[in-house]
Amino acid sequence: MKEKAWIASLLKKTKRIFTRKVVSPAVYGFSSLKPLDEHKVVFVEGCTKELSSNFAAIYAKLAENGSYRLRVFCLNKKAMGNRYRGEVLRFLRDAATAKYVFFDDSQDIQGSMGKRKGQVFVQVWHGAGAFKKFGRSTMDKIFGDSRKDADRFPISAQYDLVTVSSEEVKWAYAEALGEKNSAAVQATGLSRTDCFFDPAYLEKAKRRVFEEVPEASGKKIILYAPTFRGRVAEATAPDRMDIPAFAGAFRSEYVLLIKQHPHVRKRPPIPDGCQGFAFDVTDRLSIEELLCVSDLCISDYSSLIFEYSLFERPMIFFAYDLSDYEDWRGFYYPYEELTPGPVFRTNEEVIRYIRNVDREFDKKTVRAFREKFMSACDGHATDRILKLVFQTRRE
C-alpha cells in the first residue's frame, strides 16, 4: 500500500511539474503569436473566489471609463479543485494578448509567462507595509525556496509597477521581488485603503456588521485576526486563544469577532457556552468591514495591522510562538520594535491589558507607526495608480 501511494504521489508531482514547465509555457507562447489587445486588462486573483478589495476600486474605475475590456481570473487552487488546471490554461491564453495584467500576489503560474514587449505588469500585493518576509527574502528560511530554486524558477514577473504603502518599505519589496523589479516599486499608496477615507463606506460597513452580528449592537468589538501557520497549501489556524476565558471576562461589554486567514480551511470551532459572545465571521464579513468597526484588534504576524493603524486604535499582539515563527519565516524589522502595541505570549496578559486599555493605550505610538509605514495611503491611491499605469505610459 505504501509503495502504491508513493508511486501515485510521484506521478502526481511529475504531472504538476510537466504542466508548469512544459504545457503552461507552451500555451502562453503559442497564444503570444497573436497581437496585443491594447484595451484588454486582465486581473488575476490567487487567494479569493471573487474580485478582492485589492482590485475592486481599480476595476470599478476602469469599468466606469468604458474604454477597456476587463477580464478576471480567480486561480484559487483549494476552491477550484480539478477545475484549477483548466482555468490556469484559460488565463494564460487570455493574458498572453492583454496589454495590462494586474497581480495581487506572486504565483507559480508567473513562471510560465514570458512578458511580451509592450505588456504592462502591475503588482498591487495583498499586504501593506513590510512585516513578515516573503518571496526572495525567505530563501534562507524554512518557509522559502532554496536560493538555487529561486534563481532557476523565478515566479516574480518583471513588473512595471509595484504599489507600496510608504517610501519606508520600498527596500523590502525590492529585496523580496528581486533586483529586476526594484525601480518599479513605488509609494503610490494602496488602492484598497481608499475606502477607509470614505464616510459612506464606513457607515455601510457598520450597518453590515450589525446586520450579520446583531449581538454587537450596543457593545464594543474585539477583532481577532491572526495569520496562518505552516505552508500555504497546508495552512492551519492558531488555536491558543482561550475563548471561554475572554467570554468570562468581557461578555457584558464586548463581542469577539474572529476572522481567519483565507488560506485556512479547517477553523477552530467556537467553544460551547461562548455563543452570543464569540463569532467566526470569516465567510460573512470582509476584513475591511471589520477593521472599520472594531474597537481594538488582536493579531500576531498579519499585515492587516498596517491598515488598522489608519484608525489609530489599540492593537495587541498575541505572539505565543514568536521564536518559532521567526525561525520559520522571519521579519523585515525586529518584531518587538516594530509592533505598535504590546506583545504578549499568554491569554492572561491579553485579558489584563484589555481590562486596562483606556489607561494603557498609547495613541502616539500607533500614530508614529502610521506615519512611517502608511504615509502614502490618503484616500487617493487608486487615482495615482491608474495615472501611472495608463495615462503616464501613453504620454
Per-residue pLDDT of the chain (395 residues; tens, 9 = 90+): 555 555 555 455 555 554 555 678 888 888 999 999 999 999 998 777 778 888 999 999 999 999 999 999 988 776 666 788 888 899 999 999 999 999 998 777 887 788 899 999 999 988 899 888 887 776 665 555 555 555 554 556 689 999 999 999 999 998 888 867 788 999 999 999 999 999 999 999 999 999 999 999 999 999 999 988 878 777 888 889 999 999 999 999 999 999 998 888 888 999 999 999 999 999 999 999 999 999 999 999 999 999 999 999 999 999 999 988 887 778 899 999 999 999 999 999 999 999 999 999 999 999 999 999 999 999 999 999 999 999 865 65
Q: Phi-psi region for residue 125, left (φ > 0), alpha (ψ -120 to 50) or beta?
A: left
The predicted pLDDT at position 17 comes to 52
The predicted pLDDT at position 138 comes to 67
The predicted pLDDT at position 327 comes to 75
Residues 6+ apart with CB under 8 A from 236: 228, 229, 230, 264, 266
Identify any residues that bridge with 74 across adjacent strands, giving them in sequence order: 45
Identify any residues that bridge with 122 across adjacent strands, giving them in sequence order: 102, 161
SS3 of 261, please?
coil
Helix axes 347-355, 243-250, angle to 10 degrees: 20
Quick one: CA torsion of 206, 210, 309, 386, rounded to 10 degrees? -50
Cα distance between residue 85 and residue 88, in whole Å: 5
Q: In what order do the strands lie in the sheet with 37-45?
A: 69-74, 37-45, 98-103, 120-123, 161-163, 185-186
CA dihedral (318, 321, 326, 330) positive or negative: negative
What does DSSP assign to residue 109?
G
**Would you tell me how many other CB atoms lie within 10 Å of the CB of residue 188?**
24
Say which residue the cell 492551519 belongs to.
236
* Residues 317-369: tens digit of each pLDDT: 999 999 888 877 788 999 999 999 999 999 999 999 999 999 999 999 999 99
Length of the chain: 395
Determine the distance from the C-alpha atom of residue 251 to the mean position of all C-alpha atoms in its chain, rounded to a whole number: 31
What are the chain's domains?
16-190+378-394 (3.40.50.11820), 194-373 (3.40.50.12580)
123, 161 contact by CB (below 8 A): yes
31, 92 contact by CB (below 8 A): yes
pTM, entire model: 0.87
Residues 6+ apart with CB under 8 A from 72: 42, 43, 44, 45, 51, 55, 59
* Residues 221-233: tens digit of each pLDDT: 999 999 888 787 7
